[in-house]
Amino acid sequence: MESNVDCCENRLVTSRRGFLLGGASFAAWAYLPKFARAADGRDPRLIVVILRGALDGLATVAPVGDPDYAALHGPIALTSDGPHAATMLDSFFALHPAMPEFARMYRGKQAAVIHAVATPYRDRSHFDGQDVLESGFAGPGRVQSGWLNRALESLPKGEHVSNGLAVGATTPLVLRGAAPTVGWAPANLPPAADDTAMRLLDLYQHRDPALASALRQGLQLEKTALGEDMKARPGGNNIAAMRLVARGAAKVMAADDGPRIAALAFDGWDTHANEGGPVGRLSQLLSGLDGALGEFQSGLGERWRDSVVVVATEFGRTARINGTEGTDHGTGTVALLAGGAVKGGRVIADWPGLKPANLYEGRDLAPTADLRAALKGILRDHLGLGEAVLAKNVFPASAAVKPMQGLVG
Amino acid sequence: MSRDPQAALMALNRFGFGARGGASGDLVNAASDPRGFVRADLQRPAAVRLEMPTLQPTPALAEVAFAYQAEVKQAREAAKANAKAAAGVADGKPAPPAQPSNSKPASAGVSNKMASMDMPAKDNADAQVQANDAAKAPKPLNVIQKTFRAEALARLQRALQVDCGFGERLVTFWSNHFCISAAKGQLGRMWAGSFEREAIRPHVFGRFSEMLMAVEQHPAMLFFLDNQQSLGPDSRAGQNRKRGLNENLAREIMELHTLGVGSGYTQADVTSLARIITGWTFVGRQGKLGPPGTFVFNANAHEPGPQTLLGKTYADTGLAQGEAALADIARHPATAKFIATKFARHFVADDPPPALVARLQDVFRRTDGDLKALATTLVDSDEAWQAPLTKMRSPYEYLIATGRLLDHMPEEPGRYLGGLNMLGQPLWSPSGPNGFPDTNAAWAAPEGMKLRLDIAAEVASRIGDNVDPRDLLELVAADAASQETRQTIQRAESRQQALALLLMSPEFQRR
C-alpha cells in the first residue's frame, strides 16, 4: 500500500472520496487451484461473505410458523401476508421481502438456508465472535490466520492469478495467513461511516457537546455536497458499497485467469435500535446483500454453475426485541448459501423452538447446528479437502464436528 | 494500574505526542511520575537535534537546487530551439514567434506540431499518444520533491519514536512560530526541512535571542519574506539599481516573531528595522559573495547611517547594527508577554490561566529568554496540570498520535503528507507567515471533524482487524477513559468501527 499512496499526497486533496474504502472489502487467493480447467471440467469457485455486526437470523429467515415468533419480534416481526409480505420458503420459514434475488435463486434450487446455526463461540462480544468465525478456532484469541487461508494451503497450487489485482488491500481475517492473497477495491466507494458517525455523535453528545455540534454540522455539509440522490438513509452507503464490491469481485472472478476463491466482508449489521421489520434499517442492509448476491450471479455468468457463495455472521441477536425496537447480541442465527453448485431450495434446520425454555440462556435462538459442520461440508464436497485436514488444520480441534452432508453437488 | 491516570493522559497528550502502542508502557510510566515523564525530555536537550547522513545542510541543498534549475532551463531552451526548427521545416516558412514563456518545456514541441495543419496524420497521432502517456504516467519526483519528502520522513519518524515527545512538540511549536512556507518556490520546498534542523532545533532549549538570530539569518527565512530583494535606498546597490526597501521581513519580525501586533511599535519602527537589516541576504547561484546558499551580509545593499528603532538609535555598524537591534527586540518586555501567552495558549488552553502566563513571562524576562527555563516552568506549574483537556489536537498531532498508537513506522511520508493536506495542515506550508492556527475554533470545525472521522475510518479499515481496540484503549487512557467512551468502543460492531471510534474519542482528540 505504501508505494501506491506515495504519489497521492496531491490527489487526496481533490478526491477525498476516492481515498475511502467504505464498509466492504474483497480479497482473494493469489493462485488458481491446480484442478482449475482440469480434465473433468470442474472449475469450482467459492466466495465467503462475512457479515460483521451480527445478523438477526430471525428477521432474515423468519420462523413465521413458530407460535412464539410474532410476540417475540413484536412490531418488527415479518408476516406472510399484508403489504410487505415475506416470501414463504416452505410452510414454516419466510424470507425477508427485501431479498427477491435470493428468493428467485431459492426457487431455482440454487440457494439454501441453514438455520439455528452458530459458531462454537457462546459469549456476545463482536470482536471475539468475529475472531472465532473467521479464524476457525474453537475459542477467541488473537490468531494470525483464517480458516479459508489454511484451507488454501492444502489445495494444489496452480498459476498466479492476474487481472490487475494488487497485493495489500484489506484482507479479512478469514483469508489472512500464509497463503498469499490479492485484493481489489473500487476506486470510488462512498464512505460507510454513517453508523460509525452516529455512534460517535452519540458519544460526543454525552461527553463533548462542542465536538458533537461540529461533527453534526460536518455530516450535514457532506450530505448537502453529495446531493439529493445520495442522501443517506440509514445504511445507504453500505448498500452501495456491497453492490459495488460484489460487482467488481464477480467481474475479476469470472475471468479465466481470475481468482477462484475469495472472501468479502460487509459491515453494519449491529441493529440495536430501530431495526425495522419488512422496511427500515435491516431491510436496507438485506437489500444490499441481496443485490450483491444478484451481482455475483450475473457477473459470474457461466461460472455461476460451479460457484458457491457462503454468507455467515459472528452470532445472532436476541429473540425478543429490546426497548428500542431493535435486538441485542444473541447466539443462533442463519447462514445463507447461494450458487449453481448448491443443492438448494431448502431450509436446513433442526428447529429448537422459541418457547422461553427453549431459548439459549432464556433470550437467544438456541443453536442446533455448528457452522463449522456446514463449512466443512462445503470445503470437502466443493473443493475436495480431506476430513483429516479439515479437522486438524482448517478448523483445529474439531474432529467431533462432522461435515454436513449434501450441501453441494 | 496506575497512580494517576488522568495526569498520565496530561503528560502524554498535553505535553507529548500520545502513548505509543506495542510494549512501550508509556501510559504506565507516565502515571507513575507524570511530571518526571515530561521533564525527562528537558534533560536530553541534544535529543531534539536531527542529524542524519541523508539530510544535507542548506548550502549543499542550494547547490543541488541551483543545478536542477539550470538543467530545467537548458532543457526548456533546447525544446524551444527544436520547436522553432521543426515548425520552420514543416511550414517551409520562417519559424512562428516563440511560445509564451509560461509554456511547459515538454509540451512546447508537441503543441507546435499539433498546430501545424499540414503535418502528416501519423505524426499527429503519435504526438497525441505521447501526450496521453505523459498525462497518465506519474511524473517521476524531481530532486526538490525528493528532498522535501526525505526531510518530512525524518521528522515524522522522529516524532513517532520519541518517548514522551515534549521536545518534539516544542520543535513544532517553535517551527510554527517562526514558520516559512515550503509552498513558496523551489527554494522554500528545498529548505523547509533544513531550516527547522538548523535554525529551530539547536535552540529549542537555548536562548530565544539565539533562535531569533538563527531564524532571521537563515536563507530560508530571508527567501520566504523577501529580504534578499530588499535594498537600502541609499546603498550602492539601491542607487545603482533604482530599487529600495522591502519591509516584509522587518514587519513580521516585530508583529509575528517578537513584540506582537498592537504592542506599541509604529510604522516608522518597521521601516527602521527594514533599513537596519538591508544587506541580510543569502549567496545566490553564482557565488559572488561566498558559497551559494549561505547567509551573507552584503554591505553594498545595506542602508548607510544610524537608525532609530523603538526610541533607541543604532549606529551603522553594518551587520552588527541588525544584530544589536534584534538582541534588544528579543529582550523587550512586549516580546516576553507575547511569547509567554502564545506558549501557554499552545500547551494549555485557548484562554490560558493568567497566573500561568504571568509566571512564564516573568521567567522569560528574568532568564533573558532561556527557553529551557520557559519549558521547565510550564511543566512545573500546577495550572498546566489542572486545566481540563480542552484543546484539540492539531491534524499533525492527531496523525502522529495515531501512528504512535498503532506502532506504525512509515518508510514513505506520503500517507501522512496526504492526511495533513486533507485536514488543512500541509507540512511546513501554512498559508501565511503567521503559521497554522492554534485554537479550537480552527481545528474543531465541522468539515475538519468529518474529515478526521473519514481518516480514522480509513486507517481502521486498513488495520482494524490486526488490533484489539479494547487493548488500545488501555494503552491510550486506561482508567482515565470515560465510561461512555469505554462502552462505545466495547459495543462497536467491528474492530474497525471500534478503532475508528477510539481514534475519534475525546480522550484521543483532546489534549
User: Cβ(B40)–Cβ(B163) under 8 Å?
Assistant: yes
Q: What distance in Å separates residue B387's CA from the closest CA in chain A?
A: 16
Of B405, B392, B401, B404, the C-alpha closest to B436 is B392
User: Cβ(A319)–Cβ(A354) under 8 Å?
Assistant: yes
Q: Max alpha carbon distance in chain B (Å)?
A: 88
Alpha-carbon span B424 to B406, nearest angstrom: 23
The size of chain B, in residues, is 511
Percent of chain B with pLDDT over 90: 74
| Yes or no, beta carbons of A21 and B415 under 8 Å apart | no
Query: What does the block give as the cell for B227?
Result: 529580504
Instruction: Give me the residues of B, 103-162, that contact A with CB < 8 A.
Output: 138
| Yes or no, beta carbons of A8 and B505 under 8 Å apart | no
Alpha-carbon span A383 to A145, nearest angstrom: 19
Mean pLDDT of B183-207: 96
pLDDT in the model for residue A35: 75
Alpha-carbon span A24 to A317, nearest angstrom: 22
A291 touches chain B (CB under 8 A): no
H-helix segments, A126-235: 126-135, 147-153, 194-207, 209-226
| Yes or no, beta carbons of B495 and A54 under 8 Å apart | no
CATH number of A16-394: 3.40.720
**ipTM for this model:** 0.83
Helix (H, G, I), strand (E, B) or coil at B353: coil
pLDDT in the model for residue B464: 76
Residue B120 has pLDDT above 60, yes or no: no
Mean pLDDT of B73-78: 93
Closest-approach residue (CA) in chain B for A206: B484
Query: What does the block give as the cell for A256?
Result: 479465466
Burial (Cβ within 10 Å: 0-12, 13-18, ≥19) of residue A63: buried
pLDDT in the model for residue A105: 98
User: Cβ(B144)–Cβ(B189) under 8 Å?
Assistant: yes
CA distances from A146 to A40, A173, A258, A306, B121 (A): 30, 5, 22, 24, 58
Alpha-carbon span A219 to A200, nearest angstrom: 11
Alpha-carbon span B13 to B21, nearest angstrom: 14
Residue B56 has pLDDT above 80, yes or no: yes
pLDDT in the model for residue A290: 97
A128 touches chain B (CB under 8 A): no
Query: What does the block give as the cell for B495?
Result: 474492530
| Residues B280-321 pLDDT 10s | 999 999 999 999 999 999 999 999 999 999 999 999 999 999
Of A243, A241, A183, the C-alpha closest to A24 is A241
Q: What distance in Å separates residue B113's CA from the closest CA in chain A?
A: 31
Alpha-carbon span B404 to B397, nearest angstrom: 10
Q: What distance in Å separates residue B446's CA from the closest CA in chain A?
A: 4
Residues near B332 by beta carbon (within 8 Å), at least 6 away in sequence: B258, B259, B310
| Residues B236-293 pLDDT 10s | 999 998 888 888 899 899 999 999 988 989 989 999 999 999 999 999 999 999 999 9
Q: B440: which chain A residues are within 8 Å (Cβ-Cβ)? A: 210
Closest-approach residue (CA) in chain A for B139: A7
User: Cβ(B420)–Cβ(B155) under 8 Å?
Assistant: no
Question: pLDDT: is B39 or B450 the higher one?
Answer: B39
Q: What is the DSSP string of B15-83?
A: SSS---STT--HHHHHHHSHHHHHHGGGG-GGGG----TT---HHHHHHHHHHHHHHHHHHHHHHHHHH
Q: What is the DSSP string of B132-169?
A: HHHHHSPPPP-HHHHHHHHHHHHHHHHHHHSSS-HHHH
Cα B391–Cα B393–Cα B394 angle in degrees, nearest 5: 120
Q: Name the DSSP class of A62.
A: E
pLDDT in the model for residue A229: 36
User: Cβ(B199)–Cβ(B224) under 8 Å?
Assistant: no
Q: What distance in Å separates residue A252's CA from the closest CA in chain B?
A: 22
Task: Tell me the one-letter amino acid at A12.
Answer: L
Q: What distance in Å separates residue B384's CA from the closest CA in chain A?
A: 21
Alpha-carbon span B62 to B74, nearest angstrom: 18
Residue B74 has pLDDT above 70, yes or no: yes
Alpha-carbon span B424 to A140, nearest angstrom: 41
pLDDT in the model for residue A23: 57
Q: Is the pTM of this model over 0.80?
A: no
Mean pLDDT lowest among A35-39, A388-392, B76-80, B427-431: A35-39
pLDDT in the model for residue A59: 97
| Yes or no, beta carbons of A19 and B496 under 8 Å apart | no
pLDDT in the model for residue B454: 86
Helix (H, G, I), strand (E, B) or coil at A325: coil
Cα B342–Cα B347–Cα B351 angle in degrees, nearest 5: 60
Mean pLDDT of B216-227: 95
* Residue of A144, A198, A211 to mutate when probing chain B, most B C-beta within 10 A: A211
Mean pLDDT of B480-503: 94
Closest-approach residue (CA) in chain B for A16: B422
Find the Cα–Cα–Cα–Cα dihedral B397, B402, B404, B408, rounded to 10°: -130
Give me the sign of the Cα torsion angle B357, B361, B364, B367.
Answer: negative
Per-residue H/E/C for B172-239: HHHHHHCCCCCCCHHHHHHHHHHHHHHHHHHHCCCEHHHHHHHHHCCHHHHHHCCHHHCCCCCCHHHH
Mean pLDDT of B183-198: 95
Query: What does the block give as the cell for B498?
Result: 471500534
Q: B449: which chain A residues are within 8 Å (Cβ-Cβ)? A: 211, 214-215, 218
Residues of chain A with pLDDT under 70: 1-24, 36-40, 142-143, 162-170, 184-193, 221-238
pLDDT in the model for residue A170: 59
Q: Max alpha carbon distance in chain A (Å)?
A: 67
Instruction: Sketch the domain layout of chain B as residue ranges.
Output: 225-330, 333-386, 390-509
Alpha-carbon span A234 to A130, nearest angstrom: 23
Strands (E), A34-124: 45-52, 61-62, 87-88, 94-95, 111-118
Residue A289: HSE in the Cβ half-sphere, 13 Å Cα cutoff: 34
Strands A333-338 vs A307-313: parallel, antiparallel or unpaired:
antiparallel
Instruction: Sketch the domain layout of chain A as residue ranges.
Output: 16-394
| Yes or no, beta carbons of A217 and B494 under 8 Å apart | no
User: Cβ(A188)–Cβ(A240) under 8 Å?
Assistant: no
Residue B132 has pLDDT above 70, yes or no: no
pLDDT in the model for residue B94: 46
Closest-approach residue (CA) in chain A for B468: A127
Question: pLDDT: is B477 or B133 the higher one?
Answer: B477
pLDDT in the model for residue A273: 79
Q: pLDDT averaged over chain B?
A: 89
Query: What does the block give as the cell for B216?
Result: 532571521
